């Protein structure tokens, strides 16, 4: 059941500390301070020169985040929307590792891409929540995200668990196990719990609920989080929401910005990234848009933001997991105020088994 929560979505948002703890259990070993993914066979570890990731929807955004971590570790990685992954137009070399990311393991578009990769002779890896699912069975290897059953159509805890799993895979493939990263992984459940305990997203939702549209902007690792935040918002509120790379706003979307379009800005990262994102924030503020800044305590957002949703500091690779929790809560409370059927949005199914 819903264990006292009004919706499965809220229950699953609150289950994230536990889901993440499950995901790292036995993989991040506290004593040795090392990371071990026994499901990744030696052939996958050593034979990989480049990585292609395939998936849909929320899983695609988790992959975009994972791909940027792989690239930062020096492994060329490219995310593809599974329905656009076509062996005729995309080079699949034998030393390419193709990673299918799918919560259910049954998404038809993702299975189609996976089968194309298998036919082309690539090594394939499933990152999935469901043991024995089609994706798990049809890949050379499977790494489970261990999020537990997810009932709500809107993916929440599975996204966090995918992010954590992909961050671990990136670190293993790159053979880089920095102690600060491993320590931050261990502490992540308590950081997520802190966000859940202190979030003012419900109050912010009350302030911005009557809007024409919602825009989400972020840079680097926060760009996929902006896209995911907008997807969650549109999926469960039925309101128009779009995510953009913060730097892209001035190349067109700025024309849409008015006092009736709140802009949710993910303002985290290095000083340079924060400065440039604040530049975007000032541009929208000058057009009268209400600004919600999602940030860590160190970023100087106070003078420009109307509302602040803060997350604790952690390793830079894991901050996007925390900021996303704030966006999940913002979408949830906005949809709740609008009286939407949150767990079963119109026109959508939990698992999309048609192409």
**Which residues of this chain interact with ligand M6R, rule CB under 6 A?**
56-59, 102-104, 107, 110, 153-155, 231, 235, 351-352
Residues listed for the chain: 355
Q: How far is the CB of 179 from ligand M6R (least distance, A)?
A: 32
Q: Output the six-digit token pair for 34.
A: 């090392």
Residue showing the smallest CB distance to ligand M6R in the complex: 57
Contact (Cβ atoms closer than 8 angstroms) between residue 87 and residue 119: yes
Q: Closest CB to ligand M6R among 106 and 306? A: 106
Burial 4-26 (b: 16+ CB within 10 A, else e): eeebbbbbbbbbbbebbbbbbee
- Torsion-angle region of residue 116: left (phi > 0), alpha (psi -120 to 50) or beta? alpha
Coil, strand, or helix at residue 208? Answer: helix
Q: How far is the CB of 332 from ligand M6R (least distance, A)?
A: 12
| Helical packing angle, 179-198 and 157-173, nearest 10° | 170
Q: How far is the CB of 314 from ligand M6R (least distance, A)?
A: 24
Q: Closest CB to ligand M6R among 61 and 307? A: 61
Q: Closest CB to ligand M6R among 143 and 267? A: 143
Distance CA 311, CA 291 (A): 17
Which of the residues are catalytic? 350
Q: How far is the CB of 1 from ligand M6R (least distance, A)?
A: 21
Contact (Cβ atoms closer than 8 angstroms) between residue 146 and residue 166: no
Q: Closest CB to ligand M6R among 90 and 352? A: 352
């Amino acid at each position: 059941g819903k264990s006292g929560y009004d919706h499965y979505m809220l229950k699953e948002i609150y289950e994230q500390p536990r889901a993440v703890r499950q995901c790292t259990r036995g993989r991040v070993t506290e004593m040795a301070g090392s990371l071990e993914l026994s499901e990744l066979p030696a052939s996958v570890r050593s034979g990989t020169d480049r990585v292609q990731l395939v998936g849909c929807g929320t899983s695609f955004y988790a992959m975009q985040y994972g791909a940027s971590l792989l690239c930062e570790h020096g492994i060329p990685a490219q995310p593809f929307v599974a329905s656009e992954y076509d062996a005729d137009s995309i080079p699949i070399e034998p030393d390419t590792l193709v990673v299918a990311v799918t919560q259910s393991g049954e998404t038809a578009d993702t299975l189609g891409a996976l089968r194309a990769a298998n036919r082309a002779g690539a090594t394939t890896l499933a990152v999935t929540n469901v043991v024995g699912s089609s994706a798990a069975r049809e890949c050379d290897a499977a790494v489970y995200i261990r999020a537990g059953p997810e009932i709500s159509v809107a993916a929440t805890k599975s996204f966090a668990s995918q992010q954590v799993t992909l961050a671990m895979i990136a670190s293993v493939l790159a053979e880089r196990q920095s102690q600060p990263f491993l320590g931050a992984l261990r502490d992540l459940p308590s950081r997520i719990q802190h966000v859940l305990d202190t979030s003012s997203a419900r109050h912010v939702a009350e302030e911005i609920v009557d809007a024409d549209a919602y825009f989400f902007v972020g840079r680097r690792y926060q760009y996929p989080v902006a896209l995911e935040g907008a997807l969650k918002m549109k999926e469960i509120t039925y309101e128009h929401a779009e995510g953009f790379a913060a730097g892209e706003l001035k190349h067109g979307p700025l024309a849409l910005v008015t006092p009736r379009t709140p802009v949710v800005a993910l303002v985290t990262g290095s000083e340079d990234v924060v400065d440039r994102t604040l530049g975007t924030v000032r541009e929208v503020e000058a057009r009268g848009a209400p600004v919600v800044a999602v940030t860590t305590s160190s970023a100087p957002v106070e003078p420009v933001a109307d509302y602040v949703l803060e997350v604790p500091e952690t390793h830079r690779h894991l901050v996007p997991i925390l900021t996303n929790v704030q966006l999940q809560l913002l979408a949830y409370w906005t949809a709740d105020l609008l009286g939407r059927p949150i767990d079963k949005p119109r026109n959508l199914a939990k698992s999309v088994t048609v192409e």
